[in-house]
Amino acid sequence: MSKKNIVVVGGGYAGLSVINKLEGTLPSNYRIVLVEKQEFMFLRLAAARASTSEDISDQVLVAYDRVFKSQDVGVVVKASVTQIKPHSVVISTPHDLFGSEIDFEYLVCQTAPQF
Ligand SMILES: Cc1cc2nc3c(=O)[nH]c(=O)nc-3n(C[C@H](O)[C@H](O)[C@H](O)COP(=O)(O)OP(=O)(O)OC[C@H]3O[C@@H](n4cnc5c(N)ncnc54)[C@H](O)[C@@H]3O)c2cc1C
């Protein structure tokens, strides 16, 4: 049976905290799909600490491929969402599994305003 997608757009603090909550209670017929345009999350607080004496530079950028334990729970798609339709999102770069459009049962949009 194919899985239903919960698509989360944006892997910032808000998107990742939603994923964190969902992972623990996800029904087996659902999968989380994180669509994020960057390869790494930039941890701003860690960046401030890294500018002092501690060597924590490896923790300033966290690779998104570490978000999910298995593809059964979630998949990371590195792309920008360019369009939101009633039941799908269109992405900038085609993905092996989904192509250029990802169907969703639920959509969480956490792209944040740009500073
Ligand atoms: C320089 C700086 C320092 C800060 N310092 C602090 C601090 O010390 N303490 C504090 O509490 N707050 C701080 N903030 C604010 C804090 O970073 C934001 O409140 C927080 O990042 C908001 O989280 P978010 O998940 O809503 O957005 P973001 O963290 O901005 O995440 C949004 C994500 O969506 C992705 N995205 C956007 N559009 C698309 C798209 N179309 N398709 C796919 N992905 C997309 C982006 O790449 C990004 O990863 C700081 C902000 C800045 C700029």
The residues lining ligand 1, judged by C-beta closer than 6 Å to any ligand atom, are 9-15, 35-38, 44-45, 80-81, 110-112, 115
The answer to whether residue 99 sits within a structural domain is yes
Residue 92 CA: which ligand 1 atom is closest? Answer: 42
φ, ψ for residue 51, nearest 5 deg: -75, -10
pLDDT tens digits for 11-67? 999 999 999 999 989 999 999 999 999 999 988 888 777 777 667 777 788 899 889
Q: How many domains does the chain have?
A: 1
Residues 88/95, Cβ–Cβ less than 8 Å: no
The pLDDT, as a whole number, for residue 44 is 80
Range of the domain at 69: 4-109
The answer to whether residue 114 sits within a structural domain is no
The pLDDT, as a whole number, for residue 54 is 65
- The CATH number for 72's domain is 3.50.50.60
Q: Please provide the DSSP assignment of 41-66 as one string.
A: EE-HHHHHHHTSSS--GGGTEEEGGG
- CA gap 90, 21 in Å, rounded: 25
pTM score of the predicted model: 0.90
